[in-house]
A and B are shown apart, each in its own frame.
Chain A
């Protein structure tokens, strides 16, 4: 089963690498920010697979932190580097 977990994790890693093509291409900042979503879900899945495959429970906590950070990154991005207008649509 361990080998199988590693193979799936490796496949997901290739997926992320493929997804990075979009991040590099953009074209808008929003497209690049999709990387946070990509790592937030695929990254979590990879870590969970590795935690079980390698028998390192702490990796599950790393996955938990990834899940939290993914959301935070997006909030920080939207609030900071991309000024969001207020309710009236003004900047």
Chain B
């Protein structure tokens, strides 16, 4: 009897977190629908069933709560990303219009510290948008990066990017 109660409590908690997950996802999807229809109110007749179905599908396919990004890490990541990708665009634009074509390309290897998984994928894609670096091949703990100018201290700037991504995923990496 006692055992039954504990179990019931445990499953009760699971149900509650399940419902909370569903609510968050439904809100996110509703927001997406609102944006896609540019605020058109007539679309909700169709939208509500679609949102319900999409929420159900998402809960069915991925019932566990997704990893929430650390808010401070997220803000730092976004500001870092925007600033660096603007720099990346300016850097490559200046190289493209320079008559001397200042390129010193190299293929370098970077030893990863973040574990295999989403953090590596985010890191890999971020690197491709930052100044002078392009991810070419991802091996389990090694990333091959094409750099526009091998004379720059690429390893150090890659470590910087990795630190920001690690903070986003709340992963501790040795410095």
Contacts and interface: CB of A to CB of B under 8 A. Distances in A.
* Size range of the chain A interface in the assembly: under 10
Contacts of B36: 61, 64
Contacts of A19: none
A87 to B, nearest CB: 8
Contacts of A61: 36
Contacts of A64: 36
Nearest to B140: A87
B98 interface: no
A66 to B, nearest CB: 15
B105 to A, nearest CB: 15
A59 to B, nearest CB: 12
A26 interface: no
Interface in A42-91: 57, 60-61, 64
Nearest to B137: A89
Nearest to A58: B38
Contacts of A60: 38
A61 B40 CA distance: 14
B82 to A, nearest CB: 17
A61 B38 CA distance: 10
B65 to A, nearest CB: 27
B28 to A, nearest CB: 17
4 contacts: A57-B38, A60-B38, A61-B36, A64-B36
A28 to B, nearest CB: 15
B36 to A, nearest CB: 8
A64 B38 CA distance: 13
